[in-house]
Amino acid sequence: MPPKSALYVAAGAVVALAFVIALVRGSAPDTVSEWLAPIGPAVALASAGLWLFDRYAWRWRGLRKLTGRPLLHGTWHGTLRTDWVDPQTGQQKSQDDNVFLVIRQRFSDLTVRMLTQESTSGSLEANLIRDPDGVHRVAYLYDNTPRPEVRHRSQIHYGATVLVTPKDTEAEGIEGHYFTDRTTSGEMRFHTRYKQLAETWVAAMNLTR
């Protein structure tokens, strides 16, 4: 169920609950104020339920099967290959076997952060897209900020990434590619997911030990 549909369902639940409360009372309200009186509690209950679903409940296995939404939340460990050439050495950078993708996911949205030993990138806009065949893609735009000590050879830049997830609602791996405004590109594969959300590359490395 798309996030907007969930909001419509919640709105309908509010109206239905208001009528149920009126029926439980045993008589129809006589005034407008009596009709509106149940709305406040109904809205509060529906809002709390929607918040709980959006943040946590949708991750439950049974609900994931109903919604078909993959569980990506956590810190992913993987590899990165790039065609970027170090201007100092003239050599293409070798594969990095310790890159991390930190996904903070709610039912309605998600954010993505990439952690490497030399830089950190954060999503400016991210979307989870379901294709007609059931495969999901994470597409996002990002800015990348290298550590100060490497900016003489690697400047702040922007890029876009598309990652593909399996059809299973609990993804066992994700992979995809990216390109940047430096006219470089590469591919990424993430094989292990940790439930913890790492804030730094060092913290992410500690999860692997």
Backbone angles phi, psi at 127, to 5 degrees: -140, 145
**Tokens of residue 90, six digits:** 């003239």
Within 56-114, where are the H helices? 61-67
At the topology level of CATH, where does 74-207 sit?
A: Lipocalin (2.40.128)
Closest CA to 96 of 115, 73, 113: 115
Q: Which of 81, 75, 104 is nearest to 189 (CA)?
A: 81
**CA gap 49, 63 in Å, rounded:** 14
SS3 147: coil
Residues 6+ apart with CB under 8 A from 143: 121, 122, 124, 156, 157, 158
| Spatial CA neighbour of 178 closest among 50, 107, 78 | 78
Phi, psi of 182 (to 5 degrees): -95, 10
The pLDDT value recorded for residue 1 is: 47
C-alpha separations of 181 from 84, 117, 120, 139, 141 in Å: 12, 21, 16, 16, 11
Q: For strand 74-82 and strand 110-115, is the pairing parallel, antiparallel, or unpaired?
A: unpaired
Digits of tens for pLDDT over the chain (209 positions)? 455 565 556 666 666 666 666 666 666 566 666 666 666 676 677 778 788 988 999 999 888 888 888 999 999 999 999 999 888 888 888 899 999 999 999 999 999 999 999 999 999 999 999 998 888 999 999 999 999 999 998 999 999 999 999 766 566 789 999 999 999 999 999 999 999 999 999 999 999 99
Which residue's entry shows tokens 């735009």? 141
Residues 6+ apart with CB under 8 A from 148: none
Contact 95, 81 (CB under 8 A): yes
Report the pLDDT value the prediction gives residue 51, as an integer from 0 to 100.
Answer: 87
Cβ atoms within 10 Å of 101's Cβ, excluding its own: 26
**In terms of Cα–Cα distance, which of 174, 182, 175, 177 is closest to 157?**
182
- What does the domain layout of the chain look like in residue ranges? 3-55, 74-207
